[in-house]
Structure 1
Amino acid sequence: MTDPGRAAVRARRRARFVELAREFAGHRSGLIGAVLLVVIIALALLAPLLLPFDRLDVTKVTAGANEAPSGGHWLGTDPSGRDVLGVLLWGSRASLLVGFAATAVSMVIGTVMGMAAGHFEGLTRSALLRIIDFFLVVPSLILAIVLSTVLARGLTTIILAIGVTSWAATARVVRAQTLTIEARPYIERAQALGAGDGRILGRHVFPAVLPIVLANTTLTVGAAIIAESTLSFLGLGDPSTFSWGSMLKIALDTGAATAGYWWFVLSPGVAIVLVVLCFTLVGRALEAVLNPTLRGL
């Protein structure tokens, strides 16, 4: 038989989810950003069907180099004669993969460190705060460049470099929320009943900080995509993988911008701006929905 208490909890959670979904739909800018993101992610996933990777092989292309946009090539061709639209679609897969994976690493580290820094006291709290302050003070991009230079080149290295260096801001937000939550009476009652650190953090604190973490996640994905593009533009990415940053790197190396081949420079630039803008719109809408103090603003 189903526990009535658990069934009631699930019913409340479903009702709360429906309520949040309706509130999110009321933010037109966030809804537009979400729809565009779904379309972009779908195009990235369908890239192998829309344009097989073999058609981007420089030994098989039949088009000329740096051809202007036309009916045959909607975004023109690159200096190697490859279709820019195809390179853009395949590049979106790497850029989005790095954005999501690096954000996941950053959110896990930031959430754990933030909850620990807000929950524990004494020497443990002091040590955690010093670590967080170090990663806040030192520019994350500089640390990512150092890690990408030391480690072997590849998407995994870029994901680790971005994720390990961009979690401090999340940790500060989570710590502040943890301190607020642990000042509430039900936490004191749980401690008086003998609840341990693990139970308090996992059962009470984590569910309460999760909405803020989710809202911060969408904003961090955009920053991770920009960081990946920067690292690839600096030549620290995987040379065998297409990404929007590597497209800009090729455009710089071949002089596409100065030679007037604007379509090869503009396409990845617009793609980066559009995706980051969409994630920002979705993040702001989620923040307004999940944070009661921002509702109505």
Structure 2
Amino acid sequence: MSIVWARRRAAAGRLWREFAADRAGLVGLGALLGIVVLALLAPLWISADDLSVISAPGGILEPPSAEFWLGTDHVGRSVLDLTIYGARVSLVVGIAAALLSVGIGTVVGMLSGHFGGWVSAVLMRVTDFFLVLPALVLAIALSTMLARGLSTIIVAIGVTSWPSTARLVRAQTLTIEARPYIERAQALGGGHRHVLLKHVLPAVLPLVLANTTLAVGSAIIAESTLAFLGLGDPSKVSWGQMLKQALDTGSVTAGAWWYLLPPGIAIVAVVLAFTLCGRALEIVVNPNLRARR
């Protein structure tokens, strides 16, 4: 057992060194860690009264100042506090929806690639159905039919954005199962469960991990879009909701740029950070991309 863990630690160290060689990936990882720390520590200095529309500490649409670094919103709340606190909802929804999407896609892709035949035909036709219909339109439809809340947004995004992962994992599964050691495992009595869990899943996990980091960025954009369209949770502060309120209250036409830019820049920064990490992980897990670097 100690030898196994030693090999795993050595493999993890090798992967980290390869990831650290990508400066863009390190920049993305550093940005993500900073944003996550700010989001987790936000309740320590941002109270419920600071976010309340009744007991807002500032005036209406005050420009940036020494007291309010990013100005105030249409009811007098600090835009900086709203932007930091909004990261909590956006990150939770983005990560949870991406995990749900990648989980569904991984299961469908592995089953389709492993069993083939009518199982693959049925699963791929279902996948094609979801690919043909726009994911955002399906997410909007689900959000309008289900009760409004964060769980609804997570489900709406997760169950409509898995097809691309399913096709990717299916192709990887077919490649893995064509290797000789899979045939040997089956010849020695390994059943479907053994082959899938002991051989296929560990082999596709690095690719799934890289795809997950990219899926989080897409999920955050989808959450912001749904919130901007008024389908988010009105009781939670999120970046999409901030953009919607800036538009609905006339803050944009009033020239209050400090209310519009921070959430927009935050969305771009987080999505870019996840994309940089995802691309770096792709290079680590894909030998062909490593050779071209």
TM range (shorter): over 0.9
1:199 maps to amino acid: H
**Number of corresponding residues:** 292
Q: How does 1:188-227 map to 2 (within 5 A)?
A: 188-227=183-222
Matched, 1:78 2:99: no
Match of 2:154 among 156, 159, 162: 159
Answer whether contact 2:49 2:56 (CA < 8 A) is retained: no
| Residue aligning to 2:287 | 292
1:170 maps to amino acid: T
| Residue aligning to 2:223 | 228
Matched residue SS, 2:159: helix
| Residue aligning to 1:3 | none
Matched, 1:137 2:132: yes
Answer whether contact 2:50 2:57 (CA < 8 A) is retained: no
| Residue aligning to 2:60 | 65
**Equivalent-residue separation in structure 2 for 1:253 and 1:211 (angstroms):** 43
Match of 2:142 among 124, 138, 147: 147
Answer whether contact 2:176 2:200 (CA < 8 A) is retained: yes
Name whichever of 232-241 and 9-18 sits farther off: 9-18
| Residue aligning to 2:118 | 123
CA root-mean-square deviation: 0.8
**Equivalent-residue separation in structure 2 for 1:203 and 1:107 (angstroms):** 19
Matched residue SS, 1:258: coil
**Equivalent-residue separation in structure 2 for 1:290 and 1:122 (angstroms):** 29
1:213 maps to amino acid: V
Q: Identity over the aligned pairs, expressed in percent? A: 63
Shift, 1:22, TM fit: 0.7
Shift, 1:57, TM fit: 1.4
Match of 1:252 among 247, 250, 275: 247
1:96 maps to amino acid: L
- TM-score between both structures, scaled by the size of structure 2: 0.98
**Equivalent-residue separation in structure 1 for 2:39 and 2:166 (angstroms):** 31
Q: Report Cα offsets for 1:31-84 as digits up to 9, x if no partner.
A: 011001000000000110021122221221231100000000000000011011
| Residue aligning to 1:24 | 19
- Structure 2: gaps of 5 or more residues: none
Shift, 1:291, TM fit: 0.8
**Equivalent-residue separation in structure 1 for 2:285 and 2:135 (angstroms):** 27
**Equivalent-residue separation in structure 1 for 2:287 and 2:160 (angstroms):** 30
| Residue aligning to 2:93 | 98
Shift, 1:127, TM fit: 0.2
**Equivalent-residue separation in structure 2 for 1:56 and 1:29 (angstroms):** 35
1:103 maps to amino acid: A
